[in-house]
Amino acid sequence: MPTILLVDNDPDILAAVGVTLECWGYRVCFSEDGKTALTKAGRTMPDLIVTDCTMPGMDGVDLCRQLRLYPALSAIPVIMVSGQAQADRVPPLWNAFFLKPINIGALKSTVASLLLSRPLRETLRPAYPDRAISRWQPISSLLIP
């Protein structure tokens, strides 16, 4: 089951979009700001991130910049959601952009498309879900056949 990290400072949007994603069969993790989302992304290694653009502290654009700095996180596709028109970014820091209110049908097809375009990391998830995957982490004897 793919994991989606949902980031927004509005609890009503978190609840509405979260329930929708769960009804579609996805596991959803929640975060109310970019800084917390970056930490959760490192710990849970989500398959997709859906983030609001405007948030206090670290906004969605800064979150995308920070994600691109870490090789393990840079491959995670990001859907940016905003109440304002998309700023011109060349190249864009996110894979898809939606204006609020979100068209649920378009969101569903975009989520499915982004998840299908890359292999799921179920086999790469750590044995301990609270810790991020690290190439320096010793191999557990449980993983050796």
Q: Which domains does the chain have, with CATH numbers?
A: 3-124 (3.40.50.2300)
For residue range 67-102, list pLDDT tens digits in order.
999 998 999 999 999 988 766 665 688 999 999 999
Full-model pTM: 0.79
Contact 110, 78 (CB under 8 A): no
Task: Give me 124's structure tokens.
Answer: 């790469």
pLDDT score, position 55: 92
Q: What percent of the chain has pLDDT over 90?
A: 66
Residues of the chain where predicted confidence (pLDDT) is lower than 50: 122-135, 137, 139-141, 143-145
Residue 79: name the closest of 119, 106, 43, 118 by CA: 106
Average pLDDT score over the chain? 84
